[in-house]
Structure 1
Amino acid sequence: MTLGQHIRVFICVVVMGCIVGFVLNGKEIETDSPYIDYVKAQQWPFNEALHIADVFDGHYELTYWEYFTARNGEHVVQFTGTNDEQQDIYQFIVEKDYTGFLIGAVKQNNILLPPEQKWSFVKTLTNKKASKSGEFLAGI
């Protein structure tokens, strides 16, 4: 084989390796999943009378839910909501057996919020939803 043929074979092997790697590592996204239903039905932090779906549906004009399994095996439900010109993304990490969940990453306009700002923002949504429904939340 000539040097040019060796180079062509090498390039083909690299390209095929990249394609196979992408397919094997890619996450499959679902928009209809029991994990999504589970998260929507859970109680909103700081107000057990509210469900997650109720808070998001009342605050955001455009909403999108999706589920995927992260590369580390975690079950992730991601909510994307747009209100005016702001886009917020929430990631919920769900236990495999539906026994619990955590609020993971929260982004505002593609900026990841640190934990203190994340919880402050969650409280703000709680107060907005409560004020629309006529509730008063003491101590928040």
Structure 2
Amino acid sequence: MTLGQHLRVLICVVIMGCIVGFVLNGKEIETNSPYIDYIKAQQWPFNEDVLIAEIFDGHYELSYWEYFTARNGQHVVQLTGTNDEQQDIYQFVIEEDYTGFKIGAVKQNNILLPPEQKWPFVKMLTNKKASKSGEFLAGN
């Protein structure tokens, strides 16, 4: 990569870090919330036959779900999963009336993944879940 490309990536990472910092600055953290239950019961966006809870169940040695309201009023469910020396953080931003959600910030070992790395990383969970169950997901 050229120096200019490195600088563009660095600038994108800094901007994304500021955005995540803004979202992470929540008011109150809860570990038992209807928002957590809602996210766990939703279909995995990359394989509608699997629920979000099923994707993460057994994937991490330790997992921790929490909910908070961000400073900007967004409802955020965050999963922190740890395997060996790797820690992954996934944020799910939920619509006010439970009509949907989006996958927000994703961090790997405290490094915020930019979109071009985030989506392949998140989709990889679908492949790992499929390989554990003996299925093969075409197109992934």
* TM-score normalised by structure 2 residue count: 0.80
Q: What are the Cα deviations for residues 113-138 of structure 1, in whole angstroms up to 9, with x where unaligned?
A: 00111110111111000010111100
Aligned partners of 1:26, 1:39: CA distance in 2, in Å?
A: 18
Cα distance in 2 for partners of 1:26, 1:108 equals: 20
Q: Secondary structure at the match of 1:64?
A: strand
Q: State the Cα distance separating 1:26 from its structure 2 match.
A: 6.1
- Are 1:58 and 1:129, in contact at CA under 8 Å, matched by a contact in 2? no
TM-score by length of 1: 0.80
| Distance (Å, rounded) in 1 between the aligned partners of 2:122 and 2:90 | 10
**Secondary structure at 1:81 match in 2:** strand
1:129 and 2:126 are equivalent in the alignment? no
Does the C-alpha gap of structure 1 residues 95 and 136 become closer, same or farther in structure 2, counting only changes over 3 Å? same
Instruction: Show the counterpart of 1:19.
Output: none
Deviation at 1:58, TM superposition (A): 2.3
For 2:47 and 2:116, locate their aligned partners in 1 and report how far apart those are by CA, in whole Å. Answer: 18
Give the CA RMSD over aligned residues.
Answer: 1.2
Q: Which residue of 1 aligns with 2:22?
A: none
Q: Are the counterparts in 2 of residues 75 and 96 from structure 1 also a CA contact under 8 Å?
A: yes
Aligned length: 116
Bigger RCO of structures 1 and 2 (CA < 8 A, at least 6 apart): 2
Identity %, equivalent residues: 85
In structure 2, distance between residues paired with 1:27 and 1:122 = 27
- Equivalent AA in structure 1 for residue 35 of structure 2: Y
Counterpart CA distance in 1 for 2:122 and 2:84 is 18
Gapped regions of structure 2 (runs ≥ 5): 1-24
1:113 maps to which residue? 113
Partner of 1:80: 80
The structure 1 segments of at least 4 consecutive aligned residues displaced by more than 2 Å after TM superposition are none
Please give the secondary structure, in 2, of the residue aligned with 1:58.
coil
What's the CA shift for 1:79?
A: 0.5
Alignment check: 8 A CA contact 1:67 1:77 kept: yes
- Which has more radius of gyration? 1
Amino acid at match of 2:75: H
- Secondary structure of the equivalent of 1:59? coil
